[in-house]
Amino acid sequence: MNSTELSLAVAEPIQLLGLSFYFTPSTTERAQVHGLNVYEFYGLGRGGVLGDVDIDTVFEAFTFFSPSAMDMLWTKSREKADPVVVANDHVLAAFAFADETFGAVPTDVLDNFAKAAFKVANAVPAGHHALLDGYKKFEAPPGPVHAAYLGAILLRELRGGVHIDAVHEVGLTGAQAAYLQEPFIFRLHGYGDEDVPEVTSELQAKKQRAEELTTSGVATFFEILSDDERQALYDGARAMNEALRSPSAVTV
């Protein structure tokens, strides 16, 4: 498959993979060690890859969340724990989830996926996608299970960063983009009835254009891959998504 086909094919699988560890029981347990609930752990853990930064930096990186949600996820959470420490433990929570889930995925599939994912991520210039840059500070783990899952997180943040650029380019606000994506996501991101935008054909056209720009933008980064590597990325994303439906723990 070509890079555009791959960009379309893995968009939803990578999105689901990258977020699947956020609110699991094992992640919740790790949150409690820091005196946080699992939502605070998400905000401080994901945002903490940026460092101990101000709210404006995190708000820009998250983009699609309401100011009130970011106040809870970052400002108030930051009063309880060190974001850099929490970010490190949040990545360990991701690895714990991977160990609980991907034990039945062949290691060669995971290894080839991880190599392709890191090849893409490492080729993305720094300074454009803040959360991707933050996660790239973590070295690739030696084992295929952890490496593949971190690779999935990197690709999710890459697409997210490209999508933020696309949303800005077409003139959508974060609230408008979130609502047009899915009203449930809009609510989940902290918006209320007073924030619901008027949905017009012009607004819908802008959202469609943003999706097209996102797909083509990610595809440009996939151009670095060979045909075999693109197939490995597709196969790995599909296999790990299947494992989400029937998880199997890693055995030593």
Instruction: Kindly list the averaged pLDDT for each block of 10 residues, start to end, along the chain of length 252.
Output: 97 97 97 97 98 96 96 97 98 98 98 98 96 96 96 98 98 97 95 96 98 98 98 98 97 81
Give the pLDDT confidence of 105-141 residue by residue, as tens digits.
Answer: 999 999 999 999 999 999 999 999 999 999 999 999 9
Give the pLDDT confidence of 54-75 residue by residue, as tens digits.
Answer: 999 999 999 999 999 999 999 9
List Cβ neighbours of 200 (8 Å cut-off, separation of 6 or more).
Answer: none
Question: Which residues, listed in sequence order, are joined to residue 232 by a DSSP beta bridge?
Answer: none
CB count within 10 Å of CB 33 equals 11
- pLDDT at site 252: 72
- pLDDT at site 154: 98
Burial class (CB in 10 A: 0-12, 13-18, 19+), 252: exposed
Host H or E run for residue 98: helix 83-101
Q: Taking a C-beta distance cutoff of 8 angstroms, is the pair 122, 104 a contact?
A: no
- pLDDT at site 249: 97
Which residue matches tokens 């890693």?
Answer: 250
